[in-house]
Structure 1
Amino acid sequence: MGRPSKALLDTERIGATALELVDTHGDFSVPQIAKRLGVQTGSVYHHVDGRAGIIELLRERVTAAIDPATLDLHPWDTALAAWARSYRAAFAAHPRTIPLLATSPVRAPDVLTQYERAVALLLGAGFPLDSVMAVLTALEDLILGSALDLAAPEAMWHPATDGPTPLLAQALAAIGPRRADAAFDLALTGFLAHCRGLLTGYTA
């Protein structure tokens, strides 16, 4: 038999397969990936640095949907808000990756480059260097929590109509659709307002 015209294994296929597994089951293993791709487990290790390397492939695939051009908008808070919305949408499409990616060190060069741009944005706005990572980390906490909320059922609370929580029932009925979006808008607006206040203090 001739050699296959296309390699059986590369990082693109490994990352895509890992993402399919995580989207379906919430996790992956190297043997599972190998089985799906029809190769030996050892062959996967020839292309990636173990589980940590595959997690970085996942990160690259998910964050590729974030629009880095949002960080070029002006003023800084408009850019940060647009980036946050794009970031949230990317992770909302793959919410089961969040526990894996949020607890693993970021090493992917393309992802680090995007953080570099976010740091430059905040420094250019006047935030002191020792405050920048706190701002970005707090924003990520908000984004990733909201992305998980988007994956949750629209109705997260189920009070009995004649139960002991009539005020909760009324509040739930009043909010209408897009509960998660409304909560994200409120949190993001409050976060940016607080950051503007901090920036005023820094530059006063």
Structure 2
Amino acid sequence: MARPRTALLDLERIATAAMDLVDETGDFTMPALAARLGVQTASLYHHVDGRSGVVELLRTRIGSEIVSAPRPDQSWEPALRSYAYSYRAAFAAHPHVVPMLTTEPIRSPEVLAGYERVVALMEKSGFPLPAVMTALTALENFVLGAALDLAAPEVMWAVPPGIDADRLNAALAAQPAEPTRADRAFDFGITVLLRGCADLLAATTAEPE
């Protein structure tokens, strides 16, 4: 049999098919992925290190959609704010991927390069190195939760008749129509987190008495 003119598999095709499966079904299996690609399951293992390798391809794919990676010449606060919004948008487009990525350590060179830029900017801005990963982890945890919240219903509290929740009902009714519940919460939360980072930085750089 003649060899095909175009390779049936490459990492881009595997990543695209896996992302489509996760978006459609919430997960993927290696046999289902192979079937989507029209190849034998064993063929996948010539390109990726099993399921964990595919998960890392998904991480790399989403990482490439984060368009606001901090640059060394930026001020840390607007850079991290822009990064957080871009990060949330990238993951909100593929919310089913989020739980998957928490089960595997980050190994993707492209994704690690993005984290390197964030850490370098924070360190250059004066953040103490022992606190950098704590602050970055808190920011990432919040952003990932916010990405999932974008897929949630606009009305998350539905109080049935007969339930004594007058203050909750009043608070729900007092919400502004725009922006959306998720966007309001994200705006508030990212501001609080960055204010905490600013307080940390101020305490670090304050002159000793």
CA distance 1:125–1:147, change in 2 (3 Å): same
Q: Is the 8 A contact 1:68 1:114 kept in 2?
A: no
What RMSD, in angstroms, separates the aligned Cα atoms of the two structures? 1.5
Counterpart of 2:204 in structure 1 is 202
Task: Report 1:41-80 matches (<5 A).
Answer: 41-72=41-72, 74-80=74-80
Mapped to 1, the partners of 2:128 and 2:163 lie a distance apart of 52
- The CA deviation at 1:162 is 5.3
Q: In the comparison of the two structures, how many residue pairs are matched?
A: 204
Structure (1/2) with the larger helix percentage: 1
TM-score (norm 2): 0.92
Counterpart of 1:125 in structure 2 is 125
- The CA deviation at 1:141 is 0.6
Unpaired runs of at least 5, structure 1: none
Q: Is the 8 A contact 2:11 2:57 kept in 1?
A: yes
Counterpart of 2:111 in structure 1 is 111
Mapped to 2, the partners of 1:200 and 1:121 lie a distance apart of 16
Mapped to 2, the partners of 1:81 and 1:59 lie a distance apart of 21
Mapped to 1, the partners of 2:194 and 2:102 lie a distance apart of 22
Q: Is the 8 A contact 1:55 1:100 kept in 2?
A: yes
Mapped to 1, the partners of 2:11 and 2:96 lie a distance apart of 20
Mapped to 2, the partners of 1:118 and 1:71 lie a distance apart of 8
Which amino acid counterpart does residue 150 of structure 2 have in structure 1? L
CA distance 1:70–1:161, change in 2 (3 Å): farther
Give the SS at the match of 1:95: coil
Task: Report 1:1-204 matches (<5 A).
Answer: 2-72=2-72, 74-160=74-160, 163-175=163-175, 176-177=177-178, 178-204=180-206
Which amino acid counterpart does residue 93 of structure 2 have in structure 1? A
Q: Is the 8 A contact 1:73 1:79 kept in 2?
A: no
4+ runs deviating over 4 angstroms: none
TM-score (norm 1): 0.95
- The CA deviation at 1:166 is 2.2
What fraction of aligned residue pairs are identical, expressed as a percent?
54
Q: Is the 8 A contact 1:18 1:33 kept in 2?
A: yes
Unpaired runs of at least 5, structure 2: none
